[in-house]
Amino acid sequence: MADTTIVLPVGHRAVVIGGGGAIGRACLRAFAAAGANLWSLDLDGAAAAAGLDGLGHGHHHAALDVTDRKAVADRAQAIGACDSIVYAAGLESDGDIVDLDWADYRRVMAVNLDGAFHVAAGFAGAMISARRAGSFVFLASMAGLRGEAGTSVYCASKFGVVGLVESFAAEMTPHAIRINAVCPGNVDSPMLRRITQSVTGRVGGDADELYESWSRYGAAQRMVTPREVADLCLFLASPAATAITGAAVRVDAGAMLYR
């Protein structure tokens, strides 16, 4: 279990959506170490369960397709009031706009943006009716803060998440529910490996060399770890961040800074 200096209030209930992924798993570990009772949800039900391995008893998991609005609402109702939601489900996308595959566009938007809306709508209701202060953290990306060639669909989905976060935060403030976005840079992860394979398959070159070059991108010239992203998610969900809402916080080791 990850060590952490943040301790959540006793009985804190956290839901990690995308709990089977690299960042989702790291979030499960960070929140468990801070004392949370967890729900791990993922399209891949076995991965959702595996994300809880070694985290002790009292946690729950289930398969959930975030693109299914009714399934999200039903799952939110079954879980009931909780204190924090982390939205870490997501799909990558690669390719130029002139070659756009509309099915790929819809697939990525459905998970990265539509799903975020379904989760916002589905899970806020129970928090509001329970009159419970709470927090949502949505995984955006540095691709949600600036455009990049070959990444238009992913960028559009992540810019959308940042817009959702700002509006949702303004709507939820009267209910003491805080909403924030986390914007990682290049995270050392299977998703980033898949992107390098896709890019080199499209434009040529060696995927391992590209991955290595991306690991030297930005001011700190290193990648971010899933744990570093999870620690920020935990901080934003904790009482240490009660004045932070509607923010898009970068965790990118200076990737957006010139050096």
Q: Which residues are catalytic?
A: 154
User: Quick one: which of 12, 18, 155, 159 contacts ligand NAD (CB under 6 A)?
Assistant: 18
- Which residues, numbered 100-119, are part of the site for ligand NAD (CB under 6 A)? 111
Fill in the amino acid letter for 169. Answer: A
Please count the other Cβ atoms lying within 10 Å of the Cβ belonging to residue 205.
Answer: 13
CB nearer ligand NAD, residue 7 or residue 46: 46
What gap in Å lies between CA 251 and CA 25, rounded to an integer? Answer: 17
Distance of closest approach, residue 86 Cβ to ligand NAD, in angstroms: 10
Does 166 help bind ligand NAD (rule: CB under 6 A)? no
What gap in Å lies between CA 113 and CA 160, rounded to an integer? Answer: 7
| Contact track, ligand NAD, 172-191, x by CB under 6 A | ------------x-xx-xxx
Distance of closest approach, residue 116 Cβ to ligand NAD, in angstroms: 9
- Which residues, numbered 59-88, are part of the site for ligand NAD (CB under 6 A)? 64-67, 88
Distance of closest approach, residue 213 Cβ to ligand NAD, in angstroms: 14
Rounded (to 5) percent helix, strand, coil in the chain = 50, 15, 35
Structure tokens at 215: 């690991």
Query: Per DSSP, which regions of the chain are E strands?
Result: 13-17, 37-42, 60-63, 84-87, 134-139, 177-184, 248-251
Please count the other Cβ atoms lying within 10 Å of the Cβ belonging to residue 115.
Answer: 27
- Which residues, numbered 33-52, are part of the site for ligand NAD (CB under 6 A)? 42-44, 47
The SS3 call for residue 230 is helix
Closest residue to ligand NAD, judged by C-beta, is: 21
Region of 8-16, 18-26, 75-83, 162-170 interacting with ligand NAD (CB under 6 A): 18-26
Task: Give residues with Cβ within 8 angstroms of 243, minimum separation 6.
Answer: none
CB nearer ligand NAD, residue 129 or residue 213: 213
**# binding residues, ligand NAD (CB under 6 A):** 28
Nearest to 233 by CA among 92, 91, 79, 36: 36
Q: How far is CA 119 from CA 48, 114, 212, in A?
A: 17, 9, 35
Structure tokens at 152: 């238009």
What gap in Å lies between CA 254 and CA 218, rounded to an integer? Answer: 6
Distance of closest approach, residue 69 Cβ to ligand NAD, in angstroms: 12
CB nearer ligand NAD, residue 12 or residue 25: 25
CB nearer ligand NAD, residue 143 or residue 241: 143
CB nearer ligand NAD, residue 11 or residue 90: 90
Q: Which residues bind ligand NAD (CB under 6 A)?
A: 18, 20-24, 42-44, 47, 64-67, 88-91, 111, 139, 141, 184, 186-187, 189-192
